[in-house]
Structure 1
């Protein structure tokens, strides 16, 4: 895809650095938690939960590595994509005058997405480990609303905000 969008480097602001650091820290904690918990897990662990938070699928304990592995790939992928904001999808024509504002907004959205993915993966992994140990993680009742809120409602609110700033 060839575009005539300006290729500029978006200077990082404090919030951008904080978001990247928190996301990276959560990813490291997810991996460390999985390493520490792995030896304590039974051979069969919960691998799927229904909408009520009840376990309705089981797998071998090696499946606990799936979320940290996907987390690493997503974190690195989103981090790299953020280095090229001119290839992001925009609902407005990008010009020299509005490039910085739109690129900054787009890269920040990607940073927040990375953060939410790390939070969700951490909560799910914690819930799986606690359920496998026979404990109630107390996350079952609100993890689904959290995921729906961060993956559906939040992006809609962000799009409305973006429309407002681009008027």
Structure 2
């Protein structure tokens, strides 16, 4: 993939560091929580939840490691992708004048996406472990509606903001 976009290094700002640290912390806590509680899990644990937050799919307790593995893998891939903002997709032509602000915006979107995924995975992991231990824990339908709402509203906000920074 060849582009003529300028290669500008986007410096870390405090917000970037905090967001990445929160994401990493969530994954570490998710793994530690799972390790601590793994011995208390039943042989069969919930692996899928319906729209009401009730378990409707079950599997071997080894499946409790899927979310932490996928989450860490996703975090690392997106973290590395953020090192190369010139290869991201943009709705505007990137020039020397607008490169830094568009690259910063794009890397922030990826950072917050990483955080959003970490929060969702941590919540689901918590439910899987708690229900795998025999505790009755449900998030209810608000969890699904919140995810859908954020997933619809956030791109609209991002589209409007990107148009604003490129006027």
TM-score interval, smaller chain: over 0.9
**Residue 19 of structure 2 corresponds to residue 26 of structure 1:** no
TM-score after normalising by structure 2 = 0.95
Higher RCO (CA 8 Å, separation ≥ 6 residues): 2
Contact 1:116 1:150 in 2 (8 A): no
Q: Structure 1: 5+ residue runs without aligned partners?
A: none
1:36 maps to which residue?
36
Contact 2:54 2:138 in 1 (8 A): no
Q: Structure 2: 5+ residue runs without aligned partners?
A: none
Root-mean-square deviation over aligned CA pairs: 1.2
Contact 1:46 1:57 in 2 (8 A): yes
TM-score after normalising by structure 1 = 0.95
CA distance in 1, matches of 2:46, 2:141: 16
Deviation at 1:137, TM superposition (A): 2.5
**Partner of 1:48: helix, strand, or coil?**
strand
**Partner of 1:58: helix, strand, or coil?**
strand
CA distance in 1, matches of 2:2, 2:163: 25
CA distance in 2, matches of 1:23, 1:33: 15
Contact 2:42 2:133 in 1 (8 A): yes
CA distance in 1, matches of 2:45, 2:126: 12
Contact 2:6 2:96 in 1 (8 A): yes
1:160 maps to which residue?
160
